[in-house]
Amino acid sequence: MNWPYELQIGWRYTRAGRGGRRNRFISFISGVSMLGIALGVAALIIVLSVMNGFQKEVRDRMLSVIAHVELIDARGGGMQDWQPLAAKARENKAVVGAAPFVAAQALVARGEDMRGAMVRGIDPAFEPTVTPLAAELKDGALARLQPGAWGIVLGSELARSLGVYEGDKITLAAPNGQVTPAGVVPRFKTFTVVGTFHSGHYEYDSNLTLVHMEDAARLFRVEGATGVQLKLADVHSARSVARELMLSLGPEVIVRDWTRTNANWFDAVQIEKRLMGIILTLIVAVAAFNLVSTLVMMVTDKQADIAILRTLGASPRSVMAIFMVQGAASGVIGTLAGLVLGLGVAFNVGVLVSVIERLLNISFLPGSIYLVSRMPSDPQAGDIIPITVASLVLAFLATLYPSWRASRVQPAEALRYE
């Protein structure tokens, strides 16, 4: 294939490693620049993939307990008949499950130990269609939640902190007490622990309790349900589906998706990921702009060659293209090497970490401290493509000044002392 001579000469300069100590030194500097770009790109891919993995693990454990979307009566009263609202929401094709719930804060006490907790009243017949945790407990603890039996299922950490086991009695204190001649007196009700659950998410394991919806409604004096929970076919579409439901259900219903009920966590993860991406992109930028010094040294070394090309009829634009090809080739090689290295590590980071842990006899993620005991990784095209493009753009920008300087070389000046 007969390529334009700018490409041929530029590629030849990229591979230059012979012809004297100076050329070998320039080639070494060029190789270091490519290595820096490769390591920067690989670091970006690996770090963002691991962050995606942790985010996915926490999100999945969170969504095993809570619904994707909640529908709440804007008037603040209960829903005596929640079925029509659920049926209207199910008209949206993205909604695949619906279940009623009663939610309230309460104090859980056993003896002198007392903890604040979220009490969620559920219907065991419908709850498994909405949350994976309920589906796992369907034939176990949830089956023992019978209306009027005053049974309760505790999070594993909450049960441990209270020191209770299945069959023990605990007391729930409702915040909206009853008015007596002596003043407002909290309402107390004794429940029997019929089981525990472990979601893997500390916040819910230490704070959430499940009771039958009818018992919760009687305790908190709610008529029917306080809202309806929805499960979506695609968890990532929660915000868009919530907007559609707001329009279709009207202002009488408050629609909250999981990204808004957990807005602090969701926003913190997104901000942390953006900042980490910016920091690591600066590493790629430093490596890319090392190409500037490499190309400046090459231009200085090749002034005689440039002058000969100019006397043979090469235009300043052609000379500029030669050195842009050289710099761009270094950027492309470094970026592709970093892409291969980064993806190779990202897809096998769990295996590599396990090997390092065995060799050093340490544990990076003790299961007793962290939510996960293995290093998760989730490479996403939405991260990898921008990283690759940014690296190539930075490498291209780094070639502009040295290439422009090469195009300004005057043949007479360059050949004066040759």
* Range 174-202 burial, b when 16+ CB lie within 10 A, else e: beeeeeeeeeeeebebebebbbbbebbbe
Is 50 in the same domain as 95?
no
Q: What are the tens digits of pLDDT across the range 263-303?
A: 777 777 778 888 888 887 887 787 777 777 777 777 776 67
Residue with structure tokens 């009771």? Answer: 211
Select from 259, 286, 319 the last residue of a domain.
Answer: 259
Is 194 in the same domain as 224?
yes
> What whole-number distance in Å separates Cα of residue 47 and Cα of residue 280?
9
Dihedral sign for Cα 246, 132, 160, 103, please.
positive
pLDDT of residue 417: 53
Q: What are the tens digits of pLDDT across the range 197-241?
A: 888 787 888 889 999 999 988 888 888 888 899 999 988 888 899
Q: Could you give the 3-state DSSP secondary structure of residue 339?
A: helix
> What whole-number distance in Å separates Cα of residue 357 and Cα of residue 24?
40
Mean pLDDT comparison of 173-182, 251-260, 281-290, highest-scoring range: 251-260
Contact between 41 and 387 under an 8 Å Cβ cutoff? The reply is yes
Strand-pair category, 208-212 with 113-122: parallel
- The first and second tokens of residue 241, run together, are 């589906």
Is 97 in the same domain as 243?
yes
Is 88 in the same domain as 233?
yes
Is 252 in the same domain as 283?
no
Q: What are the tens digits of pLDDT across the range 118-161?
A: 999 999 889 999 988 888 887 788 888 888 889 999 988 899 98
Contact between 326 and 396 under an 8 Å Cβ cutoff? The reply is no
Select from 225, 259, 293 the last residue of a domain.
Answer: 259
- The first and second tokens of residue 243, run together, are 């907007």
Is 180 in the same domain as 324?
no
Q: What are the tens digits of pLDDT across the range 391-414?
A: 888 888 888 887 887 777 676 665
Residue with structure tokens 């995606």? Answer: 52
Contact between 220 and 104 under an 8 Å Cβ cutoff? The reply is yes
Model pTM? 0.73
pLDDT of 18 > 50? The answer is no
pLDDT of 24 > 70? The answer is no
Is 393 in the same domain as 356?
yes
Is 276 in the same domain as 215?
no
User: What's the CA angle centered on 384, arms 381 and 385, to 5 degrees?
Assistant: 80
Select from 192, 226, 259 the last residue of a domain.
Answer: 259
pLDDT of residue 151: 92
Is 185 in the same domain as 242?
yes
pLDDT of residue 416: 59
The range of the structural domain enclosing residue 179 comes to 67-259
Strand-pair category, 183-197 with 113-122: unpaired
The DSSP symbol for 163 reads T
Dihedral sign for Cα 216, 221, 225, 229, please.
negative
Is 35 in the same domain as 84?
no
pLDDT of residue 418: 55
Contact between 41 and 344 under an 8 Å Cβ cutoff? The reply is no
Q: What are the tens digits of pLDDT across the range 330-360?
A: 888 889 999 999 999 999 888 888 888 788 8
Q: Could you give the 3-state DSSP secondary structure of residue 376?
A: coil
Q: What are the tens digits of pLDDT across the range 3-12?
A: 465 556 655 6
Is 293 in the same domain as 213?
no
Residue type, 192: T
Q: Percent helix, strand, coil in the chain (nearest 5)?
A: 55, 20, 25
Residue type, 198: H
**pLDDT: is 127 or 319 the higher one?**
127
Is 276 in the same domain as 251?
no
* Domain count of the fold of the chain: 2
